[in-house]
Amino acid sequence: MASITIRQLPEEIKRKLKIRAAEHSRSMEQEARDFLKGALQRPKREQPKDLAEAIRHRFARFGGVELEIPPREPTPEPRSR
């Protein structure tokens, strides 16, 4: 099995990992292994192609909105002075 060293890990992250490991009654090393394994096993989300698609994707679970489209009217001629 391979080993890795993580350099320059912020103290805040180390502290949170230590707390999380204690909550699960395991070592920090085992907690880090399980965390990485879980994060990498999740299916990768497909990235939207553009902003409109991203917005549609984010709000799709709420259902669509049907808006009433007003009838088109001719554009009035500009008034002359």
pLDDT of residue 49: 81
Got the DSSP string for 46-75?
PPPSSHHHHHHHHHGGG---PPPPPPP-PP
At 26-59, the pLDDT tens digits run 999 999 999 999 999 988 777 778 898 888 888 8
Confidence of residue 14 (pLDDT cuts 50, 70, 90): very high
Look-up of token digits 């009035």: 76
**Contact assessment for residue 31 and residue 21, using Cβ atoms and an 8 Å cutoff:** yes
Instruction: List, in order, residues 6 or more apart from 48 with CB less than 8 Å away.
Output: 54, 56, 57
